[in-house]
Chain A
Amino acid sequence: MGTLLEVTDLRTRFSTPEGVVHAVNGISYTLAEGETLAVVGESGCGKSVSMLSVLGLIPIPPGQIASGSARYRGMDLLKLSEPELETIRGREISMIFQEPMTSLNPVLTIGRQITESLRTHLGMDHGTANRRAAELLESVGIPDGGQRLRDYPHQFSGGMRQRVMIAIALACAPSILIADEPTTALDVTIQAQIVELVIQMRQQIGMAVIWITHDLGVVAGIADRVIVMYAGFIVEEADVESLYADPRHPYTVALLAALPRADRRRDHRLKSIPGAPPNLLVKPQGCPFARRCDFVIERCWSDNPALAPIAPGRKIACWIDVKTGAPR
């Protein structure tokens, strides 16, 4: 499998009246063809912003991409002009979003919202696009697709709207699908259906998926590889089995301890992480997790550890070994 997307040293900032928010602080990762990469972390740790930055979807201003590159098929997405990016978005790289209730335009028909990608990117005529849209709706599990093209978003339930979003995102058979917490706003049974649908569509189209979530339970079922983000940094990167079996960063350890597991005793109390993520208005000094870390040592307060490989396919950004508690 070749590398499809290679993001290097991406930094995104937002200028706000209170000061500069350092949302993404120099992250690097790769995505292989057909791979599913999960990006996990608490709310506000830069997961969404790092993906929106790659597609040029953050509002500029106040947003600003301070540095970095995002190589996709020989192009640097961060250097493309807006019209050039338009030919990538929706055609090569698609997104689905967290809020199915507000992510669809309330005053346009579902048919219009699906066919406009087809007509813009693939140059289909009205009739062909409509037939294709009806097929897409059926393929994401909306029966009677041809009829429902004339309906408006408010005539669909939350889960159905997310299916419509998926149909829109997959309309042009993209090579990357970025799913930004697509199940967060849905109830649990619908969540499982949506995850199942994305897995099935991934196999059909053969695309790579970046799945942004704070739900480690979902990650286990879908991802090949996981990136753990904290305060705009990547703190751990591992394949999914290793991450669950053997977390190496104190933050990942804490996240997994906060997760209910079927193989644990019922009276086992879930462990919450004390404190809150750091204020991103302040330029981070030292390790951003130091204040909440159980393993913190002197060095953590002054130096921020870089993401470094510790084993094949594994990287962490930490000064200590969580197994022994000793500095590495």
Chain B
Amino acid sequence: MTRYIIRRLLQAIPLLFVISLVLFVLMQNMGDPVATMGGRSVTRSADRERLRRQLGLDKPIAVQYLYWLVGNDWTKIDLDGDGVAETPGQRQGVLRGDFGASLVNRGKPVLQVIWDRLPNTLLLMGASELVIIIGALLIGIYSALRQYSVIDHVVTAISFVGYSMPIFFIALLTMYIFSVNFKRWGLPYLPTVGMFDPGVGKTTGQVALHMILPVFSLSFIYFAGYSRYVRSTMLEVMSQDYIRTARSKGLPRPVIIYLHALKNASLPIVTVIGLDLPLLLAGAIVTERIFAWPGMGRLFLDHASRSDTPVVMGILMMISVAVVVFQIIVDVVYAWLDPRIRYS
């Protein structure tokens, strides 16, 4: 097992290398970072040239990628534009953990920029994922055990509504009902934007209150797919011979459902969860935008729209690494759940 994990990690290195190369080339088409840095007054073209030199944007793309990857502290760069490279480079490159500095945030390190937002996103997305998984398991199992019952049909209908609904719609709808109208009716109403009320401060209660609507919106949309998945795998498992054997042994129903059936049904469910977990880090772009949640999704959108290549690259690479790591974790969980799976 340990050897398998090490081998998978080693295999991930060339993969991540290719991913970074492709992403870096794509970044070149995001637009000109300098164009959005000028502020209100029209900048002179000489200033722009200087800015490009300082940011290293005057170099060919291959050199830019090389500097991004391994840094440029081993060479000298030409900052004043006289054709002589005399200033020693400062960057260390991602291989040494330096993702460069944000272009938008004026030299703030990329890792710092990401780190400021990551906990907020993990809080929001972690809570949503937890609600989705627990809710989907409960509802999925329930409707599998009572297939074609009234509740099964109702849950199925609601799931399809959720599945077909764009998230911005459900987000705005919940705002309209639980904030706008509740306030109008004189009921206790929920906050719509931000993580906390600045007048009160960042307390646990405030953050929890502000999480309700975004978590509900996210859960409602993704819950549908998950619960249908749980339902269909449970239905399949419950018709297997070994479930009949378990029943013929006179085991109590909960043992049959939650041990004999669910352990078998969990394999495909774990796959889906494993594929979705890395995306938790990415945040929910639309939801965070609508609820003004200071998370990764909003960070990505803000910086991508201003061609902040270092930050966008940092976010994307972090997600790529997470995908690879979670795939390995899923494989390990597989082997733990299903004794027939052994890696050599």
Contacts and interface: CB of A to CB of B under 8 A. Distances in A.
Interface of A: 55, 57, 59, 82-83, 85-91, 94-95, 97, 99, 102-109, 116-117, 120-121, 152, 154, 165, 168-169
B260 interface: yes
A91 B252 CA distance: 13
Given A86-B252, A154-B340, A104 B264 contact: no
A103 B242 contact: yes
B250 A107 contact: no
Interface string B237-248: 001111011111
Contacts of B249: 89-90, 94, 116-117, 120, 168
Given A90-B250, A97-B241, A104-B245, A152 B263 contact: no
A168 B255 CA distance: 16
Contacts of A89: 247-250
B187 to A, nearest CB: 44
Given A86-B250, A88-B250, A117-B250, A107 B337 contact: yes
Given A82-B253, A120-B251, A154 B339 contact: yes
B260 A120 contact: no
Given A86-B253, A97-B245, A154-B339, 15 more contacts: A86-B251, A89-B247, A89-B250, A91-B250, A94-B248, A95-B248, A97-B244, A97-B248, A99-B241, A102-B240, A102-B242, A104-B245, A116-B249, A117-B249, A120-B250
Contacts of A168: 245, 249
Interface string B295-323: 00000000000000000000000000000
A45 B250 CA distance: 26
B338 A107 contact: yes
B259 interface: yes
Nearest to A155: B339
Contact of B246 (A105, A107, A169): A105
Interface in B219-265: 239-242, 244-253, 255, 259-260, 263-264
A23 B281 CA distance: 56
23 contacts: A57-B247, A59-B239, A87-B250, A89-B247, A94-B248, A94-B249, A97-B245, A103-B245, A104-B245, A105-B245, A105-B264, A106-B264, A106-B338, A106-B339, A106-B340, A107-B263, A108-B260, A108-B263, A109-B339, A116-B255, A117-B249, A120-B250, A120-B255
B340 A152 contact: yes
A108 B245 CA distance: 13
Max chain A C-beta neighbours (<10 A), residue from B240, B264, B338, B339 = B339
Nearest to A85: B250
Max chain B C-beta neighbours (<10 A), residue from A94, A103, A117, A121 = A103
A120 B248 contact: no
Interface in B191-214: none
A95 B259 CA distance: 21
A83 B338 CA distance: 30
A210 B249 CA distance: 17
Interface residues on B, range: 20 to 34
Nearest to A168: B249
Contacts of A97: 241, 244-245, 248
B334 to A, nearest CB: 11
Nearest to B244: A57
B260 A105 contact: yes
B245 A165 contact: yes
Nearest to B242: A105
Given A152-B339, A154-B339, A165-B245, A120 B252 contact: yes
A145 B251 CA distance: 23
10 A-B pairs with the lowest CB-CB distances in the bound complex, closest first: A89-B250, A90-B250, A90-B249, A102-B241, A152-B339, A105-B242, A95-B248, A86-B250, A103-B241, A103-B245
Contacts of A108: 259-260, 263
Contacts of B252: 83, 86, 120
Nearest to A117: B249
Contacts of B244: 57, 97, 103
A91 B240 CA distance: 22
Contact of A121 (B247, B250, B260): B250
Max chain A C-beta neighbours (<10 A), residue from B239, B253, B340 = B340
Interface string B156-182: 000000000000000000000000000
A90 B241 contact: no
A85 B252 CA distance: 10
B235 to A, nearest CB: 11
A82 B249 CA distance: 13
B242 A104 contact: yes
A132 B86 CA distance: 83
A264 to B, nearest CB: 37
Nearest to A121: B250
Contacts of B247: 57, 89
Nearest to B255: A116
A57 B247 CA distance: 7
B251 A57 contact: no
Nearest to A171: B249
A87 B252 CA distance: 9
Contacts of A104: 242, 245
Nearest to B241: A102
A70 B270 CA distance: 44
Contacts of B250: 85-91, 117, 120-121
Contact of B248 (A57, A83, A99, A116): A57
Max chain A C-beta neighbours (<10 A), residue from B242, B250, B337, B340 = B250
Nearest to A107: B263
A97 B250 CA distance: 15
Nearest to A116: B251
Contacts of A99: 241
Contacts of B242: 102-106
Contacts of A102: 240-242
